[in-house]
Amino acid sequence: MHASTASVPNTVQGLLKRLEQLNEVGASLSGERDTTLLLEQILLAAKTITHADGGTLYRMLEDGQTLRFEILRTDSLQMAMGGTSGTPVDFPDVHLLTDDGQPNDYLVAAYAAIHGVTVNVEDVYSNTDAFDFSGTCLFDARTGYRSQSFLTVPMRDHEGKTIGVLQLINALAPETGAVQAFSQADQRMVESLASQAAIALSNRMLVAQLEELFEAFVGLINLAIDEKSPYTGGHCQRVPALTMMLADAVARTQTGPMAGFRMNEQDRYELKIAGLLHDCGKVTTPVHVVDKATKLQTLFDRIGLIDTRFEVLKRDEEIAALRKQLALRAPLDAAAEAAIMRRCQARQSALDDDRDFLHRCNIGGEAMPEADVARVRAIGTQNLWRNADGVRAEFLSADEMDNLCILKGTLTAAERETINHHIVATIKMLEKLPWPQHLKNVPEFAGGHHERMDGKGYPRGLTRDQMSVQARIMGIADIFEALTTRDRPYKSGMKLSQAMRILKEFKDNGHIDPDLFDVFVQQQVYRRYGEQFLNPEQLDDVLLTL
């Protein structure tokens, strides 16, 4: 809202004009989302409709006992503090109570706030008995200003609670510019404005509190995920950060396919919330699957059980060797006994080698060779051991062999499906919420980060044309964070060069949006993210051809 500064005389026509201005101000105030701008608009509007040379807006602090200078404007001194001026207000707070706990009725702003009444002073220098204007006099002496008429109006919300005070100084006659008293018409208009402004400010404060509460609730969900698993909590914070970095880079793009993409502050807030909630469904994912650091891990790492079986096999080999040695005791044959023990030790060494091999296989990697898969299955079926029931059984169970033969990572197909279900849970959870209009796209933005441009993603198999730019941005952010993160249970974070090579392969095979990838590279979003979130040793040079 930009209030006109043209002078409007106190005629019937002038009053009607000022009423129109008042209505315009009220309509404008109701739509302002920025609290600082709202406060500034209130003061400027009051100055305009009363032709005041100066004015101050005080805001009540949460303690309900202190008024803080928020904005100060004095046209003739070209003085602007607070608001959008960039100059902080350097005046002390106004306390509603004196040191002995009595109402501070000597300060006019405090009096108006305490009693909820308007104070209209024709000349402050003639009212020194009623109020303490020593601070005003000191200001005048320091600046050469002459404070005269004061209009101090409390801003009270719908519950009658004072949330601020509007104070105007030196009403100017429209015709001559001379300082005059604030008229009754001025007072009524400012009181009306103060009432509208208090409602607008209360609504804005309420919205801000609700947004703060909502973001705290979002943080609570991420904290629950963080407490559930140390491997996902950081992800819930880094993906939103990278999402906003890339989104801002795309919005800055002036040429190419993404040149038309723009975001206002509401759009940015909507995407931010979607980023924070993109993995909220992980609260339903079992911890032992999320934290599966090795292939054999369930509630514990079953490699320990296999180690025990190897020890049993080695013990059995030694017992068998000793029995054969004892069998030779009648005719003592040292050479035969030594040969038996050598065969036992060779067999035990082979078992140790198999055990070390299974330990290596238990650690997830990017790709498991077919020869290693075949060796795992050979160890599992060819080595027989006597179990706790005394029955000779295959060394590895079918489930253990399947887990040890996982080709990539540490998850079986069933476990990966369990992990993937988190996005279904995320969508279900988010679609249950009654989103306001400015956040209505959060479920779509958050729910699409595992889709692919070629339609082979999940859970809905959407193609590029069926997805918003924001969802496609989040898909790149989710993948890149996962490649470079340092806290995955089965791998360390990749260097930038390796992660970017893989991301380019994803671009070439239809996994991620190619135009967004180009922006990601051209504006070096990966570098800015890396400098903020990755270890220094991960920040190597990236050489890519788009």
Q: Is residue 543 part of a domain?
A: no
| Domain final position from 410, 431, 447 | 410
Q: Is residue 22 part of a domain?
A: yes
Mean pLDDT, contiguous 10-residue spans, the chain (546 residues)? 40 56 57 73 86 93 92 94 90 92 93 95 86 91 94 89 93 91 91 82 81 87 73 78 96 94 94 91 72 70 80 84 80 82 90 92 86 93 77 86 88 78 87 91 93 93 95 96 73 84 95 96 95 92 76
What b/e string do you get for 367-392 counting C-beta neighbours within 10 Å, with b at 16 or more?
A: ebeeebbebbeebbeebebeeeeeee
User: Is the C-alpha dihedral spanning 443, 448, 450, 451 positive or negative?
Assistant: positive
Whether residues 326 and 388 fall in one domain = yes
Whether residues 437 and 452 fall in one domain = yes
Whether residues 400 and 524 fall in one domain = no
Whether residues 372 and 475 fall in one domain = no
3-state secondary structure of 24: helix
Whether residues 42 and 106 fall in one domain = yes
8 Å CB contact between 438 and 270: yes
| Domain final position from 378, 410, 442 | 410
Whether residues 257 and 385 fall in one domain = no
pLDDT for res 456: 94
CATH classification at residue 436: 1.10.3210.10
Q: Is residue 294 part of a domain?
A: no
Q: What is the C-alpha separation between 280 and 276, in angstroms, rounded?
A: 8
Q: Is residue 6 part of a domain?
A: no
Whether residues 140 and 249 fall in one domain = no
Q: Is residue 371 part of a domain?
A: yes
Q: Which domain does 235 fall in, by range?
A: 229-288+414-538
Q: What radius of gyration do the chain's Cα atoms show?
A: 37
pTM score above 0.85: no
Whether residues 62 and 125 fall in one domain = yes
Of 129, 58, 125, whose CA–CA distance to 96 is shortest? 58
Whether residues 189 and 63 fall in one domain = yes
What are the Cα distances from residue 220, in Å, to 217, 235, 434, 436, 487? 5, 15, 19, 20, 21
Q: Is residue 211 part of a domain?
A: no
pLDDT for res 288: 64
Q: What is the C-alpha separation between 93 and 83, in angstroms, rounded?
A: 16
What are the Cα distances from residue 335, in Å, to 328, 344, 346, 444? 11, 14, 16, 78
What is the tally of helices (H) and strands (E) in the chain?
18, 10
Q: Is residue 212 part of a domain?
A: no
> Which CB contacts under 8 angstroms, 24+ apart, belong to 85-93?
93/61, 93/66, 93/67, 93/68, 93/69
Whether residues 482 and 398 fall in one domain = no
CA 372 to chain centre: 43
Q: What is the C-alpha separation between 63 and 57, in angstroms, rounded?
A: 18
Whether residues 23 and 134 fall in one domain = yes
Q: What angle do CA 237, 240, 243 make, to 5 degrees?
A: 145
CATH classification at residue 202: 3.30.450.40
Q: What is the C-alpha separation between 262 and 79, in angstroms, rounded?
A: 36
| Domain final position from 379, 410, 441 | 410
Whether residues 393 and 418 fall in one domain = no
Q: What is the C-alpha separation between 462 and 472, in angstroms, rounded?
A: 11
Q: Is residue 172 part of a domain?
A: yes
8 Å CB contact between 293 and 490: yes
Q: What is the C-alpha separation between 434 and 211, in angstroms, rounded?
A: 14
Half-sphere exposure of 307 (CA within 13 A, CB side): 9
The number of folded domains in the chain is: 3
